[in-house]
Amino acid sequence: MKTLAVLALALAALLPTLSASDAPPAATQLCTTLLAAIATNDLEAFQKDGNDAFRSGLTKPMFKSVSAQLSPLFKDGYESEFLTSLKQLKMDVYLWKITPKTGNDQFVAKLVLEEGKVAGFWIN
């Protein structure tokens, strides 16, 4: 019984290490670039690393509307915490918790990459 208790404690101590992982630097940089583009209402920077569908699927008025809603939250800075990565339909999906320095809200940012290019980016 003592052996089981010691094993349980040892496993509990390892759990944060086992579950903690970092996003690949390229994905982190893309997320940072996309959030900065939203904060500064820079459609060109937002679409720069996107695939053809990502670039053509977002109009200037659509981006301006989203940026107008979110830029006040992100322009004063934010903290990001990488949550996890997934594989979906042969694409790489990365999730971050985003906490703006202003306000009390938190968001989940979802970055989808297809062959290294942005295929989607959502903030919920």
Give the CB-side neighbour count of residue 52, counting CA atoms within 13 A. 0
Give the separation between CA 99 and CA 77, rounded to whole angstroms.
9
pTM above 0.85, yes or no: no
User: Does a structural domain hold residue 5?
Assistant: no
Average pLDDT over residues 63-87: 94
With bands split at pLDDT 50, 70 and 90, how would you rate the model's confidence at 66? Answer: very high
Give 87-113 pLDDT, tens digit per residue. Answer: 999 999 999 999 999 878 999 999 999
Give the separation between CA 12 and CA 10, rounded to whole angstroms.
5
CATH number of the structural domain spanning residue 51: 3.10.450.590
pLDDT at 18 over 70: no
Give the separation between CA 7 and CA 21, rounded to whole angstroms.
23
User: Does a structural domain hold residue 45?
Assistant: yes
For residue 33 the two structure tokens come to 């670039």
pLDDT at position 8: 34
Number of domains in the chain: 1
User: Does a structural domain hold residue 1?
Assistant: no
DSSP codes of every residue in 70-122: HHHHHTT-EEEEEEEEEEETTEEEEEEEEEESSSS--EEEEEEEETTEEEEEE
Alpha-carbon radius of gyration of the chain: 18
Enclosing domain of residue 41 = 23-123
Average pLDDT over residues 64-83: 93
- Token match 């990001």: residue? 80
